[in-house]
Structures are given as structure tokens and as C-alpha cells.
Amino acid sequence: MTREDLIEQIRLKKSYLCVGLDTDPDKLPSHILKEEDPVFAFNKQIIDATKDFCVAYKPNIAFYEALGTAGWESLRKTLAYIPDTHFTIADAKRGDIGNTSAMYAQTFFNRYPFDAVTVAPYMGRDSIEPFLAYAGKWAIVLGLTSNPGAGDFEQLLLSNGMRLFEQVLQTVAGWGSTENLMFVAGATRPEGLRQVRAVIPEHFLLIPGVGAQGGSLEAVSEAALNDDIGILVNASRSILYASSGVDFADRAFEEAASMQKAMSAFIG
């Protein structure tokens, strides 16, 4: 999906919601466990409930590969079920030497035809470039995260006066363009989002952390929106597990609708 297509969908739906499909078998409603493929059956109902309110879906690959071949099959069916109008992200956080990254890119752009894949920049340019070689595909690079260990490296002050995450953003942005590079920036520190925007004002940001992790949608929107909207705000647990009962899809519908309504106020 191109940047133009993504922006069109955002403005059409007045939403920049991304639903994270972090489907944990241990958290599925008991009646779903009776299905032949419980993970796909759950995802299918979540997609049906939320597709009118979101523009993207982000399966976290760890939840699927942990189930072995059955999990990869659930992922394949889930990806095929997502409407073509929606941006799809493989949250895989890959990144390795060039020839290995090339294989990862084949996996998530050809074998499982996602629009984007999350990648880690630690190993440098040759670990990212293979993901940028596909027309209409995106690399979403870890920038400033909000996990407890983020300060171990990301906030280190360099001799040039920049924080390490700022150097990563500035350097990686030069390897591609606003048409094929996005960056991950966590929602729980709005001041950090402003710092990110100061370095990369035009790039799209994938922003996790709103909902169960405590990030504020309003604070995120005020800190990170640009002229093209420029953000995808991810919510996973707050939507997926809004209920653990037979009404889980109805509650997911309500949660997604509520988030879309709040987002619409920020889209002219």
C-alpha cells in the first residue's frame, strides 16, 4: 500500500487506528476454544467487529510462531481475511546481516504478503536495506520505545549532543523515504513524541501503548500529528480482551468505535 493510499483511507474513515492482533490462546473466551482453529476464529470475529473503525491490523508474529506450524497457518488465514483496504503490519522486529534480512523480507512481503514489517536498526544499514527494495512495501524501524528497558540504550547521550534514538531516526531516514519508512514511537511519553517529530516531521509513526499500557490518545495526537495525519495508533489488549465472554466481539466493536470517534476530532 502506498503512502497516498494509506492517507486516503485515514481521511475516508476519519481514523488512524491500528488493531494489534496479539492473539494469546490463554486469553481466548472458552467457547472459542472449541473451534477447529481458535486463533483464526477469534481474529475473524475481531476483524469483522473493528474493520469499519480502523485502517490497519498488526499481528504480533511472536504469538503465532510460538504455536508452531498451526500458528503460521492461523496467521496465513488471518492475513487473507483482512480486507485489501486495510494496511497490514507484521510485527516481527527482524533485522540481521544483509542476506538474512533479505530472507526475512521475502517471508513477510512475498510468502505472507504484508504491507509492512517492523525491524530493529541495531546492526545498521545493510540489515534494513533489503526491506526497502520492495515497491509499495514499508519498513517500520524501532525508534523510541516505551518499555522499561528503553533507557538502557535509546536515551544515551552521544558526543554530538544527540540522544541515540535521535541519531537512529536521523540516520535511518536517509536510507529510504517517507514513502517506504515508518518509525515506532511509544505512546506513554508524549514529550518523546515531540522529540521524534523534531527529527522526522514528515514520516509516519507507528505508536503503540494507547489503551492497556496507559497512553493517552489525546496527548499522542496533539504531540505527533502532522499535515498528512502521519500516525497509526495501535491498540491491542484494550480491544481484543475488552470482554472474556461470548460478547467479546461486541465489546471490541464498542471499543474500536469509541477510539475512532475520538480520532475523528483530530482529522479535518
pLDDT tens-digit readout, 116-149? 999 999 999 999 999 999 999 999 999 999 888 9
Give strand ranges (E) for 62-108: 87-94
Of 89, 115, 107, nearest in space to 5 by CA: 115
**What would the pLDDT profile of 79-118 be if each residue is shown by its tens digit?**
999 999 999 999 999 999 999 999 999 999 999 999 999 9
pLDDT interval class at 214 (50, 70, 90): low
In terms of residue numbers, what domain contains 200? 3-264
Of 157, 166, 159, 117, nearest in space to 137 by CA: 117
pLDDT interval class at 212 (50, 70, 90): low
Cβ atoms 160, 188 nearer than 8 A:
no
Predicted local distance difference test score (pLDDT) of residue 197? 96
Cell numbers linked to 237? 489488549
**What would the pLDDT profile of 43-60 be if each residue is shown by its tens digit?**
999 999 999 999 999 999
Distance of alpha carbon 140 from alpha carbon 95, whole angstroms: 11
Distance of alpha carbon 176 from alpha carbon 189, whole angstroms: 26
pTM assigned to the model: 0.96
Cell numbers linked to 241? 480482551
Predicted local distance difference test score (pLDDT) of residue 17? 98
Span 6-26, average pLDDT = 97
What CATH code is carried by the domain that includes residue 121?
A: 3.20.20.70
Predicted local distance difference test score (pLDDT) of residue 56? 98
pLDDT interval class at 239 (50, 70, 90): very high
Predicted local distance difference test score (pLDDT) of residue 206? 97
**What would the pLDDT profile of 152-183 be if each residue is shown by its tens digit?**
999 999 999 999 999 999 999 999 999 999 99
Element (H, E) at 254: helix 248-264
So which residues are the catalytic ones? 93
Q: How many domains does the chain have?
A: 1
Cβ atoms 54, 63 nearer than 8 A:
no
Residue 213 pLDDT > 80: no
Predicted local distance difference test score (pLDDT) of residue 150? 87
